[in-house]
Amino acid sequence: MRYSFNHPQPKPKIDSDSRVFAIFFAVTLVLIIGFTIYLAIDKSSMKKEMVTMARQTKQLQSESEVFKRKIARIERLVRKYETITTNNTLLKESIQNLFDLVPDQITLTKAVLDRNGLILYGVTPSKEVYNYLLLAPLKSIFQRNVTTFYRMKNGWWRFVSVNEGTIETGSEVAE
């Protein structure tokens, strides 16, 4: 005989509270393991990025040194160019001043300017005119002055003036 309208149900081995607790524990454990795996992967990725960044840093530092050397070279070239330009300007002014110093009585037939000095060829009415009007300015410019005179048939003097030494313009002619 039956005394109940319900059929007997087998009793669950784990009650519902324990099941909720186990599911919560399992989800938490999966989240912790997943986060740990994510951190390990991210750490590995960061190490690779650090190695890559270190290589890039070394490469950029070496490129920076190369650029610094190139900049220093360009700056030296600019300074050299400015020096040459200044020297050329001073030399041009000196030559212009020299030709301005040549008096009307003296006629230059040839002027040779080289690295060591200036050679002037010309004609003068007398040695004194040359010595007083042209030699004095040349002595102020050059360290050594040697002049040779040759008498012409008309009474004037042909001269060759060799002026050597550093031109005193504040700097030497650029090499």
Considering the domain architecture, whether residues 73 and 113 belong to the same structural domain is answered as no
Strand order in the sheet with 117-124: 107-113, 117-124, 157-164, 144-151
* CATH number of domain containing 137: 3.30.1360
- Asked whether residue 41 falls in the same domain as residue 86, the answer is yes
Give the CA angle between residues 74, 75, 76 to the nearest 5°: 90
**What is the per-residue DSSP string for 3-45?**
--SSPPPPPPSS-HHHHHHHHHHHHHHHHHHHHHHHHHHHHHH
Which residues span the domain enclosing 140? 105-169
Domain boundary among the residues 78, 101, 124 is at 101
Contacts of 120 (CB under 8 A, 6+ apart): 108, 110, 111, 159, 160, 161, 163
Are 41 and 89 found together in one domain?
Answer: yes
Count: domains in the chain: 2
| In a shared domain, residues 76 and 117 | no
Q: What is the pLDDT confidence band of residue 150, given thresholds at 50, 70 and 90?
A: very high
Query: Is the residue at 174 inside a domain?
Result: no
Q: Parallel, antiparallel, or unpaired for β 107-113 and 117-124?
A: antiparallel
pLDDT greater than 60 at residue 62: yes
9 domain residue, yes or no:
no
Same domain, 147 and 87: no
Which among 29-43, 101-115, 118-132 has the top mean pLDDT?
29-43
Nearest one of 160, 158, 140 to 150, comparing CA atoms: 158
Using DSSP, state whether 99 is helix, strand or coil: helix
Regarding whether 125 and 76 lie in a shared domain, the answer is no
Q: Is the domain of 117 the same as that of 95?
A: no
> Does residue 41 fall inside a structural domain?
yes
What does the pLDDT look like over 71-101, one tens digit per residue?
999 999 999 999 999 988 887 887 787 778 7
Alpha carbon distance 46, 17 (integer Å): 43
Prediction pTM value:
0.47
Is residue 166 within 8 A of residue 118, CB to CB? The reply is no
